């Protein structure tokens, strides 16, 4: 059986609603997290993301000026100096399927529809810690693999082309980002 040592994780939460930030902070501290940074808008969150290099980002979607979707897109810049791989959990009042798709295509790792529950949040965090997905980079997408499952029964066009496999070794960008602060 596995459990998360929250003491070893650094969180960044971004929500313009102070009540929801308080709820999130309370939940994370109760789980055992000590380092929880907060921002009330996407622009500040991006600055804090670069400065504090959090392990996990939890963001609301709907915020003034610079929303959670834009924040996810800014983090998922493969050429950026910061860490483009951090798990992003989108916590939002939006509850339509098309929104999940839009968030997924922006590079969001997990989607959690409000109302928030301790169990729902814990499960999303456990999932990103225990089961990280590889990242996919195409001309139009950079983010966690959007295919969570493989199936041998799929019928339809294959959007990913195959080709020669080339393996490149390079230093971890995450470590590079951390060593630069």
Partner 1 sequence: MAKDKPGTIEVKSFGTHHVITQPNPLRSALLRVPESDLDDPVGRAEKALAGLSGEFKAWMTVEADRLSAAYEAVKQGGFNNETREELFRAAHDIKGDAATFGYPSAAAAADSLCRIIEHAPDLDAVPTELIAHHINAVQAIVRGRTKLDSAVVAGALSKQLRGITDEFLIHANRERPEHLEAVMAPSIVPNE
Among 20, 66, 70, 102, binds partner 1 (CB under 8 A): 20
Q: Which residues pair with 88 in a beta bridge?
A: 57
Instruction: Please check whether residue 95 is in contact with residue 50, taking contact to mean a CB–CB distance below 8 angstroms.
Output: no
Site for partner 1 in 47-76 (CB under 8 A): 54-56, 62, 64
- CA 84 – CA 87 distance, rounded (Å): 9
Among 79, 115, 151, 181, binds partner 1 (CB under 8 A): 115
Instruction: Tell me if 23 contacts partner 1 by CB under 8 A.
Output: yes
Site for partner 1 in 90-109 (CB under 8 A): 92-98, 100
Segment near partner 1 (CB under 8 A), from 39-47, 69-77, 148-156, 166-174? 166-174
For the bound state, the minimum distance from the C-beta of residue 64 to partner 1, rounded and expressed in Å, comes to 7
For the bound state, the minimum distance from the C-beta of residue 74 to partner 1, rounded and expressed in Å, comes to 19
For the bound state, the minimum distance from the C-beta of residue 82 to partner 1, rounded and expressed in Å, comes to 14
Site for partner 1 in 132-161 (CB under 8 A): 132, 134-139, 145, 159-161
Q: Is 97 or 155 the residue whose CB approaches partner 1 more closely?
A: 97
Other beta carbons less than 10 A from residue 8's beta carbon:
12
- Could you give the angle at the alpha carbon of 15 between the alpha carbons of 13 and 20, nearest 5°? 95
Number of residues in contact with partner 1 under rule CB under 8 A: 74
Instruction: Tell me if 173 contacts partner 1 by CB under 8 A.
Output: yes
For the bound state, the minimum distance from the C-beta of residue 63 to partner 1, rounded and expressed in Å, comes to 8
- CA 12 – CA 93 distance, rounded (Å): 19
For residues 63, 80, 129 and 152, what is the CA-based torsion angle, rounded to 10 degrees? 100
For the bound state, the minimum distance from the C-beta of residue 27 to partner 1, rounded and expressed in Å, comes to 5
130-141 burial, b at 16+ Cβ within 10 Å, e below that, comes to: eeeeeeeeeeee
Phi, psi of 85 (to 5 degrees): -100, -5
Q: Which residues pair with 13 in a beta bridge?
A: 38, 58
């Amino acid at each position: 059986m596995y459990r998360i040592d929250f003491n070893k994780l650094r969180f960044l939460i971004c929500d313009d609603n102070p009540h929801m930030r308080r709820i999130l902070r309370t939940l994370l501290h109760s789980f055992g997290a000590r380092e929880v940074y907060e921002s009330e808008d996407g622009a500040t969150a991006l600055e804090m993301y670069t400065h504090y290099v959090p392990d996990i980002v939890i963001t609301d979607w709907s915020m003034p000026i610079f929303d959670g979707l834009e924040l996810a897109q800014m983090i998922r810049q493969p050429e950026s100096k910061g860490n483009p791989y951090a798990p992003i959990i989108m916590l939002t009042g939006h509850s339509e399927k098309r929104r999940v798709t839009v968030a997924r295509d922006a590079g969001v790792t997990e989607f959690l529809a409000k109302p928030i529950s301790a169990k729902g949040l814990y499960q999303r965090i456990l999932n990103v810690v225990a089961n990280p997905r590889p990242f996919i980079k195409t001309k139009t997408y950079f983010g966690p693999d959007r295919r969570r499952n493989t199936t041998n029964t799929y019928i339809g066009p294959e959007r990913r082309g195959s080709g020669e496999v080339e393996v490149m070794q390079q230093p971890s960008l995450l470590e590079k980002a951390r060593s630069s602060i």
